[in-house]
A and B are shown apart, each in its own frame.
Chain A
């Protein structure tokens, strides 16, 4: 230890250099540039093209300095600082050069500072003042440049190239951070300007609207359309996907007026995507619920609303609405028993909301009938992960990706569904030398970055993964030591995959033998590999087998429990990990402690002071049949919209029309809330305190930035009030009190305390308050002891194409929208960028069927029909059509199959047999 420590200090000394700037001795880290060394010592050097997140560019020539021993003026942003260097940043020669440069830059900058949206924080203006630039000298240098028309095609920002000074920060951010490359410098000389491909308006380009360019523009060339200077900024977490990006909401007059990424956010390091940056105006949308609502007597529940709110509901006081809900719930409990009521918790809500909700169901209602949408996205991950490793969470952290040599992305359209992780992968491939295998039936953005691309048929994942393992074992690329020391069940797997020769797998999956061999070798030979997957793996009747096969491949090659390796199920919702952790599941209490384990149950009975039900409850996907069968009489829904998110919607809608009591709490009158008897108005993420747990198990604080609209309350407050009305008060005053109780009962959250979450949160397991959290799991052993191989045979999807239904429908999300659109379709920018759902079809199928772009097509399956305009794209392979499920007018889930995975009870959203015909009436 002593030796190690002394070497470390020795290295630390070697890591720093000493240089003199303006006569001052400066210490700097080795490898920094002269500019960074100066900035680090609070010595100002003007610059327009430097950005700490981007590579040195040396474009603006303002940062020139004199360095003794070097000829001429050198740009400090591209010159590495070296030991003993003597630098002068403020000499007459330097300043004269900077002034001339600045005058030339200013002469090409056209615009009226008075009317410019950037005049408060224009870098150009700041530097012009610092250098003392004179207006008339600039005017003399001006050349009659052509006035370019302003590009205001984008709903979120304006591009005024007349104000552009060609620092290329936008081009570099697009290339180096977002890896989208929508823009570059084009044309020459005086005409040189930033252009999209073909110099078209930005909205017609491949721009993904992440806004990394807008945030970095030093002038008014790129400015947000709606932003205002905030009165205060509140640090919180993005409420959209499971990446868990940290951001600052700027608040003025109880409205969000600006958003910026938190450069210290452990997940995003300042980056945001289109939703995270522009998607918050739903918070102040006029349709927000502001008072409790009660269904008018005699108004029948009818799915697919088209009436007016006041024709169906009347406004009520909190007291009256709570009283009514409490009375009806107690009646049902008394008449039909506690198991006759089910509740859906929400992966959009905080850990605290979820904890209180599951406690309400278990303590007040007296059943375990609590579940949430994790059932529909990652139930198979939890089941498969527990079987293989003992736990179902992502085993690694994003920071680990920096050390990953090979990414294997299967069934995840990462750049659309987890955009910030998508960019991380692209950056690692583009700049870090990492390799990438992409397996997806569709051609996704990541496919263009892939070393090997496998386009397998939907639902053939087990066969594909078995095929890869076949080649790895055949070629002796498996990690024999890891298999021997840390796993069990290898022999069964070996025997099974022996049958999956490349020939067999090619016949099943449609992937060529050569590609299977290439991918297998790449994976088998990788020093560190991780597998990222999403709904493409989980949402199948073989979902659990798919997950187990992913686990098999990792165990086989020893790519788990080490830095840079891991099992990475990408969780969809902002807090789906947390909702599971908090026990919003029918079979476990918080921390995955089983309800049928007597010791566990006794612990919770003591803590909660009541007898608890020992029967595991009902899953989301079983509720519809239970309602229709008469077993479930009452349904309580918090912040979910099953009327659009369930598979085989017609069936589910029938059930909801039949249920005796439906209580919904939400921020909007969602399609589900329209059917409710009582609706409670809830506070949104920016209107309450609490925590979200992201997909890398990081528990992060969300903070109240706004007052809730009207009488809306935080979800946990609503449930607590209802519990009190039902005679079992919970007595929580703040969200942090709830987390304290949850942490005391949940070993993996033992050390989670609001006070510890201010700087980047903590990754569970975090057993006590001195524990720093756990970045990656299973370093020393698996949660279940040894990692277990599960030999899984290939079974085809529940539904296969037929003469009547000759196409495969696969569903998913698009970048601009979120789930059932309750939030994103009420965000102006997102809605304008992607206003309606489409059916995506390959050019080959379209030509065969005689369809043209924009045709209104009717898609039918055994379960129903949906109409939407056609979009012809090479993203879809022949024989496969794609629809996203955000749209109530074209609800893809009317078509999807509610066949379940037998173990995880997850439905097969990803494969449905459908037919598509053109409707005569043409759209637009």
Chain B
């Protein structure tokens, strides 16, 4: 789970923006007993509050549960639901379902990656966007598709990717 370059700055940025604090973490932990089996519920709740699992939070959880830090990380990375980098404010999802795949979804993903300069699972250093892939969004008739926040864009082409991203950059 290589952090994108500038991860440290991102964390500082996020701390300022989202207010990740020791107190909020302690508040979450205070409703648990410190038993090993509480690990996943705690990770879920921490992610819910912070949007991802920050390293200092995982270390604190490890201490609280008397588990090795490496184990907390190992368990976290096993599940697809957990994220280890902060989400961008705008979530871009590119569909990789069968229909989209047949109609060139991979090309669309490559184009988005190129234009944003990030890979799926990563966020841009300024935390403006993050990129994810989804298995199917259920709009196969519009394949290939991508979703920006909650807005679906169908019948995508490389040029339309530029339009969508630009239009959306304009909105900012």
Contact = CB atoms under 8 A, between A and B. Distances in A.
Interface of A: 175, 181-188, 195-199, 205-206
Contacts of B58: 197
Top 10 A-B pairs ranked by shortest CB distance?
Answer: A181-B68, A184-B74, A184-B70, A197-B69, A186-B74, A186-B77, A187-B77, A197-B73, A184-B71, A197-B70
A205 B71 CA distance: 13
B1 interface: yes
A187 B70 contact: no
A175 B68 contact: yes
A195 B73 contact: yes
Interface in B52-70: 55, 58-59, 68-70
A166 to B, nearest CB: 12
Contacts of A175: 68
22 contacts: A181-B68, A183-B70, A184-B68, A184-B70, A184-B71, A184-B74, A186-B1, A186-B74, A186-B77, A187-B78, A188-B78, A188-B79, A195-B73, A196-B70, A196-B73, A197-B55, A197-B59, A197-B70, A198-B3, A198-B55, A199-B1, A205-B70
Of A175, A188, A196, A198, chain B has the most CB atoms within 10 Å of the CB of A198
Given A186-B78, A187-B78, A188-B78, A199 B73 contact: yes
B69 A195 contact: no
Contacts of A198: 1, 3, 55, 73, 84
Q: What is the interface of chain A mostly: helix, strand, loop, or mixed?
A: mixed
Given A184-B68, A198-B3, 17 more contacts: A181-B69, A181-B70, A184-B70, A184-B71, A185-B74, A186-B1, A186-B70, A187-B1, A188-B79, A195-B70, A195-B77, A196-B70, A196-B73, A198-B55, A199-B2, A199-B73, A205-B70
Nearest to A171: B70
Of B78, B80, B84, chain A has the most CB atoms within 10 Å of the CB of B78
A195 B58 CA distance: 15
Contacts of B72: 197
Contacts of A195: 1, 70, 73-74, 77
A191 to B, nearest CB: 9
A582 B36 CA distance: 52
Contacts of B74: 184-186, 195
A206 B77 contact: no
Nearest to A182: B70
Contacts of A181: 68-71
Contacts of A206: 69
Interface string B26-46: 000000000000000000000
A196 B70 CA distance: 6
Interface of B: 1-3, 55, 58-59, 68-74, 77-80, 84
Contacts of B77: 186-188, 195, 199
A205 B2 CA distance: 14
Nearest to A449: B66
Contacts of A199: 1-2, 73, 77
Contacts of B80: 188
B117 to A, nearest CB: 20
Of B59, B69, B72, chain A has the most CB atoms within 10 Å of the CB of B69
Contacts of A205: 70
Nearest to A179: B68
B12 to A, nearest CB: 15
Nearest to B7: A198
Of A175, A199, A205, A206, chain B has the most CB atoms within 10 Å of the CB of A199
B64 to A, nearest CB: 12
B69 to A, nearest CB: 4
B40 to A, nearest CB: 14
Contacts of B79: 188
Contacts of A188: 77-80
Contacts of A185: 74
B78 A184 contact: no
Contacts of A196: 70, 73
A923 to B, nearest CB: 20
B129 to A, nearest CB: 23
A714 B144 CA distance: 80
A198 B79 CA distance: 15
Contacts of A182: 70
Contacts of B55: 197-198
A184 B58 CA distance: 14
A161 B28 CA distance: 36
A198 B78 CA distance: 13
A197 B80 CA distance: 17
A188 B78 CA distance: 5
A195 B78 CA distance: 12
A210 to B, nearest CB: 15
A445 to B, nearest CB: 13
Of A182, A183, A184, chain B has the most CB atoms within 10 Å of the CB of A184
A205 B80 CA distance: 24
A184 B68 CA distance: 9
B2 to A, nearest CB: 7
A724 to B, nearest CB: 60
Contacts of B73: 184, 186, 195-199
B59 to A, nearest CB: 8
Contacts of A197: 55, 58-59, 69-70, 72-73
A205 B74 CA distance: 14
A148 to B, nearest CB: 10
A184 B75 CA distance: 9
Nearest to B80: A188
B28 to A, nearest CB: 20
